[in-house]
Structure 1
């Protein structure tokens, strides 16, 4: 190894302010102790054993050392997980190490988390435990380390022996990880620091997309309907025989790809939430954009047909109705005229289909014959329903990553 290929990279959160370098002096003392121990175990010079950024180091000086090191040693402390630079360093090492990068991470409990706080998800993947070796004295040292952190052991005179014992175990973990870790990556695999995400930044929650599928089951079929495309529950319905998986599975996957968190809602519950037409009841308040997928065969039941008609009459802007008339189902094709008339009668809001047949909503209400058309229309309607939902609540809600951008207060016309 050379001076540019350290065994380990020590990542720490700098103390802000003019006296930060003095406050961080214990970090550099620990670093010197650790690199001497690691040098002895790996048979390299102390200079080659480790790297730590000096207080006055340029903001991007760490990249070449991080790209070349074998082991990543983060100093866990409350400030560490709120420092964007530490989060980017973690991301850089994870990027160059691949999915098994955790094997080359040796965290140090510098200052343990305070009561009631937890480590961020990225850090929870990495074990902080040391090997339970040695006698009772060393086990007590490790217990004090887990409870109080290494900084306290290092600073208190009575705990110097415990500090040395924990330091030795940490050095052993670093040396073992260096031996087992892959060859160092090139600096280009670390990437530009400005393009690195903070691994500890809170993740924005995905917006919910409610999905309701209305279809018969194999045990409750409309009169004369064949059971080939149905299963024990609605989620098993597979109208397109050339498509893999059920239609519910396809809808969930499509919603996830669009950046939504899909939520399946049973039809009866959807009716209560959408139609909301009882006497003395206030108009329904939108809780999420919604897609209702309807099997035209299910509308042969008068009660079900009436419920769908009431949902359609409610004319919720954040709801899209998608009707399925599978083109590869022989029975559906034989009865296509009758099923199409049933759709036109039930979806009364779409009586003007001749005027809107070229829009996504019009095409979806007429009956979708092919699975690729279903996927395209689902994507278009999910995004437009989301925009209409945002207009309904007039709030800064999170947007799906692949959906159209929208600024607060800006209304966007849709052509669905």
Structure 2
């Protein structure tokens, strides 16, 4: 039996104290029961209740959004600046569009609730879903539901809004059946958020993290790589750990970033990397580079990454995931190639006192290493007197440190061609 959550509660973690979200969720469920709905048969979905330890969170969320009967969105500036709230909202809206295409009927199953006061005009595509109606009161329109709940959780104003939301949810859930979106992968959804007019300048400790990825694809595989199962059609589908499976490293990184209290978005490394990193500094943001060691053999990645290595970026971290059982990535030549691209940073690899350059990061340490990297990068950003990065002076590299077995030549040589396995036969 396919689970069809009676409603999906979509909200931004960043500015929503959990006790208020939980109170509203619980009150909405109680009101649905009071008016004769039966949400227990298809339990509503709130992520902290329905996600278990070890669950593939992107898959679980996608299944819920792709099958829920109604969708309750807690609008706030943080909601419209949340990448994954945007993916959830956009994916559910697509189901509404598909139903209209099939039936020529509009279903009021996307139920916005004004959680906190909005800033600026909403884009037309979002504004067409009305978040207030007659009888909800001026306090709600001015201050939002969270403020009403905070000041008078048993009052008539709050109860009246809960009743109206419950009535909307019940009508949508009981009268209509939207088309399902089975196997929905939220990572592949191009959401309408963040909405530019509602983005706020990043504040220390509660800012935005810009993630840049350099990773291979399945066709063609990176030079010398023969194992295709770690890659997909897009670099965003890279799964470096064994056995290769979802969540992708991009999904996993964004989950860590959300749990650390930040918003994020992911872009691919290209020739504009230096310019984009400059922009993050001007915007008072930290940044993370997720690098597939095999990708540095591709000029489109190698050159911008080598250019990054020649700059001082104290609020940028580099993380290179790798699984120890991936025998191909155990080849020292791969890591020599990587060391030639990052020859300035290579000497601080895995330095316990400088956690912004981590290589060969295993699956069981990825989350912790990334969380520490985010905290250190944010602290350094706060300490900087200037946000203008500068390039290190040109010149030959310093002599190798004692005990360092991987050379750092002044000019990276041509990369060796991959060895043909038939040569040994």
TM-score, reference length from structure 2: 0.44
TM-score, reference length from structure 1: 0.45
Higher share in helix? 1
